[in-house]
Structure 1
Amino acid sequence: ISGGCCMPLPANLDSSDCAVTELPKPHLGEPRDLSSLRMQPAQEDELTLSQNLDQLLSRDTVQVELIPEKKGLFLKHVEYQVTSQRYKISVYRRYSDFDVFHEVLLQRFAYRVVPALPPKRMLKGGRSSYYSGRRRALGRFINLVARHPFFSEDELVKTFLTFSGTDVQTKLRDTYKKAGDEFMTNRIATLAKEYLPADIQAQFSTSRELIRNIHNSFFKLRDRAEKMAERSKENATDLLLFGKELSNLGSDSSTIPCFASSQSSWGALRQSLKSLSVEFAVLSDKAAQQGRREEDDVVERLNLFLDLLQSYKDLCERHEKGVLHEHQRALHKYGMMKRQMMSATVQPKEQASVEQLESRIVQQENAIQTMELRNYFSLFCLHQETQLIFSYLPITSHILGAFVNSQVQGHREVRNNLSTTLSSDSPTLSRSCNLKSALNCFCKVKQRPNKDERYCKKDNHLI
């Protein structure tokens, strides 16, 4: 183009040579094919609990302390200071607050293990021992709840452990009304059947029988441990009285006859007995500490696991008497309606009554379908709660370790205290009775018993 005029092409140039050559197009495929390259989330097994005992125990530790008795308008009542290590807050609760919390927790998690509360009224024992026992039971209850893999993340538990307002009971009920029961909020509640194994009923029966036997054994272990802890406390009293009598014996100022004083070491031995009441008072205190140690570390852990086992037993009964019974009752009612419908088709009736009966049948079918879904969800939860029981079983090693450590510590304290006293302060007593050697033998026997040793039943001595 020159001066607005188009110049002609050379004669020897073909017009096709001026065409633009098309570049090759890359083939990327369809966009939907790229979706397979996305990172896939890990497939979770909804039915399996992955937490072990240490992980469950580390979820939270809640301390429940008894506040001194308060006077109400008409009746006296006590309060408890509840301190959550997880939320780092302390709140004050009455027994009635625990009662309402237990009520709404059972309504929301009807298909889970909800521990029972201690009785409200005093059954036996003094007032102080009753309040102390109830405080321990409330502590076990709230710790089992706060460490449960599903309860611990629920708003009800957080409200109970953190709400510091004036009316926690109303707050708990309002929280439950907003959330509803677990079946209404769990995302896989209506799909629970797909996750259940084919032999779920057989597995449930086998596990239930096994856990029943475990419950019976732990119940007997708890009784034995309670008696041993009680004997340690009684031993503390006996040691104190024993020391006092030795002191009284050593304080006797009666003159020793001359025919006995020349050949007897009683005079020097009697002087050595005076100070032993102090040493036996120390031993009494050590024995009392051992009793409290066994009560806190052994008996209390046994009670904790027994509370969990009992709540599993209650859950099984709720499943059988609640969900299954209601399902069977709904099926029976549905059968009666179907028979009424068949008789209505044979015997002519008013159209309105027939339509009403058909509507009731449809409603009953929907109710039965919902109950079937709840039944499968109940089995789903039962399977998970069974796993929770087995996750807690390693607590047996914790209990056994605490028992052995308490026994070893108790006997070591007896040996160290008496051997030091007899060797330094009472040489006459030590030489005359050879007590140091006897104490060494006693502690070796208690700490490392020999399977070949036999005891004389009459004198309770080694043979």
Structure 2
Amino acid sequence: MQMPQGNPLLLSHTLQELLARDTVQVELIPEKKGLFLKHVEYEVSSQRFKSSVYRRYNDFVVFQEMLLHKFPYRMVPALPPKRMLGADREFIEARRRALKRFVNLVARHPLFSEDVVLKLFLSFSGSDVQNKLKESAQCVGDEFMNCKLATRAKDFLPADIQAQFAISRELIRNIYNSFHKLRDRAERIASRAIDNAADLLIFGKELSAIGSDTTPLPSWAALNSSTWGSLKQALKGLSVEFALLADKAAQQGKQEENDVVEKLNLFLDLLQSYKDLCERHEKGVLHKHQRALHKYSLMKRQMMSAAAQNREPESVEQLESRIVEQENAIQTMELRNYFSLYCLHQETQLIHVYLPLTSHILRAFVNSQIQGHKEMSKVWNDLRPKLSCLFAGPHSALTPPCSPPEDGLCPH
């Protein structure tokens, strides 16, 4: 990670620097039928490596496992569920989007982006990518074993690191909850735009259906045949504008899905990976450390009991040897615990580096609303003059549309 001289704990990244590291596209490719199931494959393209490779879901799984193996104290994003049977198009598309978010978060992480595992995943074009990933990760230890500062992590941590960790965890939990609600509302707004598009299209088609009706007029309505004919012709023409309105509404909905909802999901994925990291810290390193201390306490009591009972020297020596081993294990656990807190401190900083993404999201939302309403307003305004052609008044003079009173009905 990029660190200022003098304090390796502090980071000096900006959001623009992280986003510029790489942009990875994940696209579906045509399904291939296996013996029993259809296999979904993805084309994964990296701007940074100028590469394009095919990957299956299980390749992503192994990739994530190797990241967790090498970087257990870092924010490794979660993968979407597999769900092999009964996967519909909507699920497959949602999973594609989630995989794209996953790989972009990884490709932009300061540590992951420089690791050979990422390069292999994004650029290796052989058929045994999973074995390649495993070989590259398993031949070396995790970050604790390879970081020169690992054993000195405690020296760089503030004295109140545990209190800071608790405060940061609570803050990010609150941010996650708020952004989760924002994402849900943004999804509903985008969905309403798409539903509105479908309604406008159907509305226009129904107008066209009226205009295309070929049912003959009854004899008693023959005097109004010209009125009915003019009305049908005008209504049929209006369907073009309603189709255009539907297209504009659909474009706005899709744009908000891509530029607003997806960015909110990206940030939520990052926040969730931080929450997962906090749990790994508490249930992993911290829990192992506590178990090691408990085991050490039991062994010390056994040693005292053996000494009091004047047991054979060999038995006492074995206990002493085991106690020394346990002391070494405890020391390692303590070092890992501090290194885990060291990494958590840096990952917390990364979360705050991503916070300005909020302004990007809001700007995209506002611009989408302005552009969408502007384009639809133009179509509505172009449509209004055509309404005057719907009915012809006395002596074939066109009757302009009346201004409706408060009840919305025109006087007869």
**Normalised TM-score (structure 2):** 0.89
- 1:432 partner SS: coil
Structure-2 separation of matches of 1:254 and 1:290: 42
- 1:110 partner SS: coil
1:245 correspondence with 2:206: yes
1:308 correspondence with 2:278: no
Number of aligned residues = 395
Q: CA deviation at 1:282?
A: 1.6
Query: Deviation per CA, 1:11-70, whole angstroms, max 9, x where unpaired?
Result: xxxxxxxxxxxxxxxxxxxxxxxxxxxxxxx83421111111111100110000111111
Which residue of 2 is the match for residue 450 of structure 1? none
- Contact conserved, 2:78 with 2:269, CA < 8 A, in 1? yes
- Contact conserved, 2:197 with 2:247, CA < 8 A, in 1? yes
Which residue of 2 is the match for residue 432 of structure 1? 400
1:174 correspondence with 2:153: no
Q: 1:355 aligns with which of 312, 317, 324?
A: 317
Equivalences for residues 198-347 of structure 1 within 5 A: 198-251=159-212, 254=217, 268=230, 270-347=232-309
Distance 1:319 1:123, change over 3 A: farther
Q: CA deviation at 1:421?
A: 3.9
Query: Which structure has the larger Rg?
Result: 1
Q: Which amino acid aligns with 2:305?
A: S
Q: Which amino acid aligns with 1:397?
A: S
1:100 correspondence with 2:62: yes
Structure-1 separation of matches of 2:378 and 2:82: 45
1:374 correspondence with 2:336: yes
- 2:9 partner SS: coil
Q: 2:355 aligns with which of 393, 417, 430?
A: 393
Q: CA deviation at 1:72?
A: 2.3
- Contact conserved, 2:77 with 2:102, CA < 8 A, in 1? yes
Q: CA deviation at 1:267?
A: 6.9
Structure-1 separation of matches of 2:77 and 2:262: 15
How many percent of aligned residue pairs carry the same amino acid?
Answer: 67
Query: Deviation per CA, 1:51-104, whole angstroms, max 9, x where unpaired?
Result: 111111001100001111112244321211111110101111111110011111
Structure-1 separation of matches of 2:291 and 2:35: 48
1:117 correspondence with 2:79: yes
- Contact conserved, 1:47 with 1:383, CA < 8 A, in 2? yes
Q: CA deviation at 1:201?
A: 1.0
Q: CA deviation at 1:232?
A: 1.2
Which residue of 1 is the match for residue 92 of structure 2? 131
Instruction: Between the two structures, name the one with larger relative contact order (CA 8 Å, sep ≥ 6).
Output: 2
Q: CA deviation at 1:286?
A: 1.6
Structure-1 separation of matches of 2:203 and 2:173: 45
Structure-2 separation of matches of 1:434 and 1:394: 51
Which residue of 2 is the match for residue 29 of structure 1? none
Q: Which amino acid aligns with 1:279?
A: E
Structure-1 separation of matches of 2:228 and 2:372: 31
- Contact conserved, 1:256 with 1:267, CA < 8 A, in 2? no
- Contact conserved, 2:387 with 2:401, CA < 8 A, in 1? no
- Contact conserved, 1:82 with 1:90, CA < 8 A, in 2? yes
Structure-1 separation of matches of 2:85 and 2:181: 22
Which residue of 1 is the match for residue 17 of structure 2? 55
Unaligned runs of 5+ in 1: 1-41, 438-455
Structure-1 separation of matches of 2:19 and 2:6: 23
